[in-house]
Amino acid sequence: MWSVFNEMAEVEVRLEKSKSRRGKHAVRDLALIVYEDCRIVEPKIKHRIKVKPIYARGEAWLVKVHIPEGAYLVHMHFIRNLRGHVKGVIRVMNSEGVEVLKVVYRKLKIRKSSGDSSYAWVVEKVVNHLKLPVKRFNV
């Protein structure tokens, strides 16, 4: 889903909010920009294309986002299943558009999947900002 277009770190990500016909399954994709001074803002969208969502009700977009210098793009993909359990993937990209950390959210725990653990503070700030319930942070 990630692709870098040029040296200005313009990245294409998917933003989605959809759920199944009966509302038992849902998917949510978010993107946030985190600055070095811990500010969290919505990314400025350069260009967007409407695409088909995973589930029947809702919408999905493929957007091009510019990552400012000294900031990180955090892309989150969450799925809620029939039992209400949420699992997902959180990816952190630096200002050059390179993925530096990938963590997995499952069973209320955050675990490092790949990348550099020194960027864990970015994930922690976003998790606190979204008020995501977390029992253990294993990065």
Using CA atoms, how far residue 136 sits from 42, 95, 112, in Å, is 26, 28, 12
pLDDT at 5 (0 to 100): 46
pLDDT for the residue 2: 52
For the entire predicted model, the pTM comes to 0.89
Token duo for residue 35: 């600055």
Query: What amino acid occupies position 43?
Result: P
| Close Cβ partners of 10 (under 8 Å, ≥ 6 residues apart) | 4, 46, 64, 65, 66, 67, 97
**What is the structure's pLDDT at 6?**
43
**For position 1, what pLDDT does the model report?**
52
Question: Which residues of the chain form beta strands (DSSP E)?
Answer: 10-19, 26-35, 40-41, 45-51, 57-66, 71-80, 86-93, 99-106, 109-115, 136-138
Q: What are the boundaries of each domain within the chain?
A: 10-138
How far, in Å, CA of 95 to CA of 66, rounded? 9
What pLDDT shows up at residue 119? 95
Opening angle at CA 29, ends 134 and 111, nearest 5: 35
Residue pLDDT tens, the chain, 139 long: 555 444 557 899 999 999 999 999 999 999 999 999 989 999 999 899 999 999 999 999 999 999 999 999 999 999 999 999 999 999 999 999 999 999 999 999 999 999 999 999 999 999 999 999 999 999 8
Among candidate residues 54, 73, 104, the one with its CA nearest the CA of residue 3: 73
